[in-house]
Chain A
Amino acid sequence: MSGRAPLPRATRRLRLVLALFGAGLAALALEAAHARLSRPAAELRMAASAELVRAAGLTDLALFTEARHSRNPALADLHTAFQDAPMSFGHFPSGSFAPRPAAGFGKGTLGFDADEVRR
């Protein structure tokens, strides 16, 4: 570099900012690589869960356990209080994740409008 004029401040600043963007992109790439590398372990773990699902005969995730009607959203247990009420959406926070069957009584399954409910 000797003998050449030093880079102007503006050029150095642009390089710094572009380097920051590069670092951001690199971090994103690193995260993608991390996701890729942790895939085998995650698959092993999910396989263990899948095995439990098969062995026990489970049908749902254990994410929403605060109310009985939300525990098995795919099977929508219609016994429980509140769930047929117009406002049941708001009784439990996870109700917004797993709303009550829109069809109400009857052969309801989970869906977001009447057309989506098949049986």
Chain B
Amino acid sequence: MILQTPILALLLAAALSNAVALWTAWFGLRVLRGWDIASGSRAQLRLERRTGLASTLFGFVMLIQIAALLLFVFNADRMATLFVGAMCAVGTLNVNAYGFPALYLKIAVFFAASLWLILDRVDRQGRDYPLTRLKFSGALLIAPLVLTGAGTELAFFLGLKTDVITSCCSKMFTPANDGIAAEMTGTAPATALWFLGLAGVAVAATGTVSLAAARLQWLFALAGGVFFAAALTAIVSVISLYVYDHPNHHCPFCLLQREYGYVGYALYVPLFAGTALAMGAGLLSLFAGTGSLATVLPGALRRLVWASLICHGLFGAVVLSVIATSRLVLFG
């Protein structure tokens, strides 16, 4: 274990998240058993007020988780100097078997918590809180995710041994390997760009349709999911090459370093936010018929789709500017 301030901060964040997740799950069980919005009883009133607390706490944890995801990656990147053979976050995450699972779980928590918050926000605008049971069933599912994430992160930090020789990103993101990272790396740059472009068109088209028709947002969410996969593939396969001005450097983490102007953050933040918003829109569209939400939902959906489209647009702009300013010529 390396006693470092960012690690201490991350562990603190994880501990707080765990406490909140556990409490919310326990409270979720009580909601599932005792929720009856029509009742004017004292118990129901208390339950309602507690859902307010749960929303506040979960929102708090959500903000922490977003910041913690950034801090986790940033810190992994910084600690690379401590490990033999590591050059960026990949090396740090590869020091033991828990590094990458911890990252993936953190990302999963990010998406789950975003969806939960979107659900929560809409639910509280419906005069009979129509989604409350669903919301707290969701909390029951998210809690294990948060706990596992925190446990994996702890295992990762405890297992950081500086004398382990770890593998650098050049060994992981190379077409010569097996596995999904290698598959993504091995995708031909032109294919990846076409795929990304098509996914972008699909996002724009389904977004426009769902804005115009005020329905079919689930299609938009689907397009957003495809776009996410396409974007990650394209980043590994081709965009990174443009950033590094190097035809063989595929690492998606070195993008986050100062040498490259922190361009990784400009890519990942809008991409993740845009995907989460699109998925949120898709999720909400399932409740379009629910009585008390009928007045609230269309506006909320429109705002979500717009926000998501703006995020996707930002991502596209960053990609284009990276390609335009690069000295690397891949095509023609």
Tell me if B162 counts as interface (CB < 8 A to partner A).
yes
Residues of A within 8 A of B171 (CB): none
* Interface residues of A, count at CB 8 A: 4
Residues of A within 8 A of B161 (CB): 115-116
When C-beta atoms are compared, the residue in chain A nearest to B2 turns out to be A112
Q: How large is the interface on B (under 10, 10 to 19, 20 to 34, 35 or more residues)?
A: under 10
Bound: A117/B161 CA distance, A: 10
Residues of B within 8 A of A115 (CB): 161, 163
Chain B nearest Cβ from A110, distance in angstroms:
11
> Which DSSP category, helix, strand, loop or mixed, fits chain B's interface?
loop
Tell me if A118 counts as interface (CB < 8 A to partner B).
yes
Residues of A within 8 A of B162 (CB): 116
Residues of B within 8 A of A116 (CB): 161-163
Bound: A116/B95 CA distance, A: 13
Bound: A91/B260 CA distance, A: 46
Bound: A115/B158 CA distance, A: 13
Chain B nearest Cβ from A44, distance in angstroms:
21
Bound: A101/B176 CA distance, A: 42
Bound: A116/B162 CA distance, A: 7
Residues of A within 8 A of B163 (CB): 115-118
Chain B nearest Cβ from A43, distance in angstroms:
15
Contact residues, B74-99 vs A (CB, 8 A): none
Contact residues, B147-167 vs A (CB, 8 A): 161-163
Chain B nearest Cβ from A18, distance in angstroms:
21
Bound: A115/B161 CA distance, A: 8
Bound: A69/B163 CA distance, A: 23
Bound: A118/B163 CA distance, A: 7
Q: Which residues of A contact B (CB under 8 A)?
A: 115-118
A and B contact pairs by CB, cutoff 8 A, 7 listed: A115-B161, A115-B163, A116-B161, A116-B162, A116-B163, A117-B163, A118-B163
